[in-house]
Amino acid sequence: MPEVRRNTLLHLPSDMPAPRTTHWDEDDEDDGPPRIRKRWYHYLPLFLAVLLMLLPHPSLLLVLVNYHLRVLDSPARFLIHLLVTYTLSFLAFCSLILILARDPGPVTSPKAAEAAEDVDEREDMGFMQALLATESDGPHDKRPGKWCRKCSAPKPERTHHCSTCGRCVLKMDHHCFWLGDRCVGHRTYSAFIHLLTCIVLLSVYIAVLCIQAVYFAFTNPLAIDESTPLHDIYLAFYGIIMALVFGSFWMYHIYLTTTNQTTLENVSPFLLLRHLPPLPRPSSGTQILSDPPLEHQLSHAQRRLVRDAHFHVRIYDVGWRKNWAQVMGWDQPWGWANRLLVGGGCKGDGQAFPRNSRADDMLTRLAHDLVSIDKD
């Protein structure tokens, strides 16, 4: 029986690097089951947060009336303190309502819809068309497409999947159980900064106001009744504790805004692996790392290299002025004043962001270092 020769339909050169095609992101949040439907007990932290914001006001009114009106006999100071405290409280509740009412960042845009249609078209291609298709034929010419494995949908830049909410969020910063068990993302992060600012200013103001009242009560014990100093001491400690707790959190987010980072980007150094350019092929031997590399593939030396690079590579840092203008969403030279007073939304559609001009060179250097360490 003659031997049958089997010829392949298509020969691919062995030295051709594998194209960086669309890949699925599997490193977002945890892989637990999504908890989309919220129960009543999920809102208990929000109720407690609102209670903490309202808790000092009865004692504050008593201090203002007894100390500034009856003892000091100063209606002007009484009105000023009343106006400042309740203005800050009103602005804080406005930001809180905006966070609860606004979607943090829906991944529904013309770009995402167009990308989804392109993928559907590629799935409908024939066998030979799929074999002969090149990387430039697809919707992602320059950078590899990012897709969410859990949502089966396009995943824009800086987007993360929250398993608690069961969805992807544009420029997700973190998931907060104190804010109605919701995510803080592209459309609500500026309101979150505004909320923290109002709470910190209100706490410091109340602490300073009541510390002065406590000092007056100790130096003039006969000029004031016995119960008012107790409220002064309570409010002073309350303001100091709230200022320390929320002040440290507020300063951290001020740093993140100044450097144009999110909480996830700051605490997750291995997110840099997503942004690496195509890895250079080693001169000899087999490359162990995938392209782009995954965290579990890295050795101890490579992990340490990525962690060290994380402190220097700030991909979206375009200068503190532009960072603040982008995050807080102002265009005018003095637009920050309006944003600090009433809050606002971020600029852009949350799909793409300007990048640091030096970030690409630093990422290229990191990719070469990872391959060289892998070879050694």
- The first and second tokens of residue 76, run together, are 């002007």
Confidence of residue 140 (pLDDT cuts 50, 70, 90): very low
Confidence of residue 175 (pLDDT cuts 50, 70, 90): very high
| Whether 291 contacts 312, CB under 8 Å | no
| Whether 168 contacts 159, CB under 8 Å | yes
Segment 217-242, tens digit of pLDDT:
888 888 888 888 999 999 999 999 99
Minimum mean pLDDT among 140-144, 175-179, 253-257: which range?
A: 140-144
**148 carries an active-site annotation:** no
| Residue partners of 286: CB distance under 8 A and separation at least 6 | none
The larger pLDDT score, comparing residue 182 to residue 126, is at 182
The larger pLDDT score, comparing residue 230 to residue 114, is at 230
Segment 243-282, tens digit of pLDDT:
999 999 999 999 999 999 999 999 999 998 888 888 877 6
- Say which of 165, 176, 183, 210 is annotated catalytic: 176
Write down the residue that tokens 């690496």 correspond to.
276
Does residue 336 register a pLDDT over 70? Answer: no
What is the residue type of 84? V
Identify how many contiguous H helices and E strands the chain contains and give both numbers: 12, 7
DSSP letters spanning 299-317: -HHHHHHHHHHHTT--TT-
pLDDT mean across residues, the chain? 80
Q: Cα–Cα–Cα angle for 315, 323, 318, nearest 5°?
A: 45
- The first and second tokens of residue 236, run together, are 């002073």
Does residue 144 register a pLDDT over 70? Answer: no
C-beta atoms surrounding 252 within 10 Å: 13
Highest mean pLDDT among 95-109, 251-265, 294-308 belongs to 251-265
Q: Which regions of the chain does DSSP assign to beta strands (E)?
A: 23-25, 146-148, 153-154, 160-162, 167-169, 174-176, 182-184
Q: How far apart are CA 281 and CA 260, in angstroms?
A: 33
pLDDT value of position 147: 80
- The first and second tokens of residue 326, run together, are 């982008």
Minimum mean pLDDT among 21-35, 130-144, 210-224, 311-325: which range?
A: 130-144
- The first and second tokens of residue 293, run together, are 């590399």
Question: Once rounded to an integer, what is the mean pLDDT over residues 135-145?
Answer: 42
pLDDT value of position 132: 43
The pTM of this model reads: 0.81
> Whose CA is closest to 89, among 64, 119, 54?
54
